[in-house]
Amino acid sequence: MDVELTVRVLVVNAGSSSLKLRLLGADDAVEATADVSDTDDIAATLRSWPRPDAVGHRVVHGGAEFTSPVLVDARVKAALHDLVELAPLHQPKSLAGLDAVQDVLPDVPAVACFDTAFHSTIPSYASTYALPSAWRERYAIRRYGFHGLSHAYCAKKAGAYGSRVVSCHLGAGASVTAIVDGKSVDTTMGFTPLEGLVMATRSGSVDPGLVLWLAERMPIDEVTNALEKESGLLGLAGTADMREIEAALDDDPRARLAFDVYIHRLAGCVAAMTTAAGGLDVLAFTGGVGENSAAVRTAVAARLDHLGVRVTGAAEFDITAPGAPVRTLVVPSREDLEIAAGVRTVHLGHR
């Protein structure tokens, strides 16, 4: 057995209201899994599990400095706190998870794995906003990209079928990434996870002039809250759940509009990422909606027929229609495996 796969890794995935814990043992076998919501639950859960050799934390933002997994020490933790201003709605959750687990396992090495790291290979012409250079330098403004752990895992699974992959991570948050030879070359999320696709409660890209117009008419925190938590599918259909929207397509005009807007934006972003990749060999769907909604996949494929995307309605890994020049895959999201791989590399390198 590969020595790396003998390292038992606790994977910590911090969400908006809970921590998802998963313990991976030899050969990445899942030894235990749990969703916990407070410090007492974390302590009780981890004390009942086998002791890990290392802990891997999903951290949303690594900024320009952290482009690969890193062993967490006092300097790294301070740097991660400094990045809170770049992701104020997400970074604190990651840091709270780090602190909570370290309270229970203070002597177990902790490794931070970053959602932004996979996108560090995006060329400058795709990562640079057309803003004054003084702003870009002073505030570290650039397109960072997110969902990198998911896209990286998807790239590994899909890369065996072609070098030019467009990966669609469709969940509560959603993004599309262009991948060439396993490396990200463009993505739809930018400086924050608000840019790009229509999401469950996030607006995705809107005219910046609209945001300025709204900010003149209401408090900026109301604008921020609405764009993050009251927009997207929820704002269009009154529900953030794609399953409910699909069930109401024939009866509720709001559901039909929400679905059509979602598909229009998604198909357009896939086409844009195809251009960034220089063509399309593989289209991959992952995340809760990407994996489970045949209706979304079929509707997007219909809009992308001119690119060679044609699919079956089957619920399997390869959903490519016979004769289609582009391979279309459904890849179960396993960010935990991507995190564990990064943890083992760092952990064994520091022994």
Active site residues: 115
List the pLDDT tens digit at each of the 351 positions of the chain: 455 668 999 999 986 656 899 999 988 999 999 998 777 788 899 999 999 999 999 999 999 999 999 999 999 999 999 998 888 778 898 998 899 999 999 999 999 999 999 999 999 999 999 999 999 999 999 999 999 999 999 999 999 999 999 999 999 999 999 999 999 999 999 999 999 999 999 999 999 999 999 999 999 999 999 999 999 999 999 999 999 999 999 999 999 999 999 999 999 999 999 999 999 999 999 999 999 999 999 999 999 999 999 999 888 999 999 999 999 999 999 999 999 999 999 987 665
- Whole-number pLDDT of residue 215: 97
- Whole-number pLDDT of residue 272: 98
User: Given its phi and psi angles, is residue 331 left (phi above 0), alpha (psi -120 to 50 degrees) or beta?
Assistant: beta
CB within 8 Å of 239: residues ≥ 6 apart: 233, 245
Is pTM beyond 0.85? Reply is: yes
Domains of the chain, each with CATH number or no CATH: 3-114 (3.30.420.40), 159-330 (3.30.420.40)
Element at 234 (helix H, strand E): helix 232-237
Q: What does the DSSP 8-state code read for residue 66?
A: -
User: Which amino acid, 194?
Assistant: L
* Residues 156, 160, 161, 165, CA torsion sign: positive
> What CA–CA distance (Å, rounded) separates 339 from 13?
9
Tokens of 171: 């969940």
Tokens of 310: 């044609």
Among 168, 163, 222, 220, which Cα is nearest to 199's? 168
